[in-house]
Homo-oligomer: A and B are copies of this chain.
């Protein structure tokens, strides 16, 4: 059956599939530059025109991307578009902002709990580095939104659930773009609640990690609501 389906595809599509496989096998790694058209044509034993067509297909599938003047690269997140959930098309951004918090409260405490169960030594080191990066930026008075996102992403990775590590960055990017005042809640509270989450994960205490994450999110949510109300309807 696989063969029948495959035979209906053009040579360029077949070539695109073969290139996708090399990326899935990590022969070409995420973010890595692809070899030249000439080299790819030799490697896959097809013409350069076919390679060019195949690359176009992979661009449309967001598997590779062109960086002008440098070449073609494997995407950092192959197959993922910038706003994969199409949230830009949700019109009521105020409600979306609340929905994002509600979703985070559904999912992140449980992810923290899984992280406490499954975190590895390397994961723990990454988490500590990530927390330190936030605190350093806060101390220097610099923005720390991206470091904050990285902290939550690292917890999702530590959870060992691949869906979690795919979804959390997407949800957090959406929070950054669509929600009110991400990254501006009281910094002292943030430092304390982040530390509490990390300590619970280090102690491999799932319940404590879950509660710590819930507290952290609740505080941010309440703060965001408060700011929104004081800013009024037009904020």
Contacts and interface: CB of A to CB of B under 8 A. Distances in A.
A39 interface: no
B86 A80 contact: yes
A60 interface: yes
A163 B102 contact: yes
A1 interface: no
A95 B185 CA distance: 37
A11 interface: no
Chain multiplicity (copies): 2
A23 interface: yes
A99 B171 contact: no
Interface string A107-138: 10011001000000000000000000000000
Contacts of A103: 161, 163-164, 167
A85 interface: yes
Contacts of A86: 62, 77-80, 84, 166
Given A87-B166, A107-B107, 9 more contacts: A25-B91, A62-B86, A63-B89, A79-B81, A80-B85, A81-B81, A100-B163, A106-B110, A167-B167
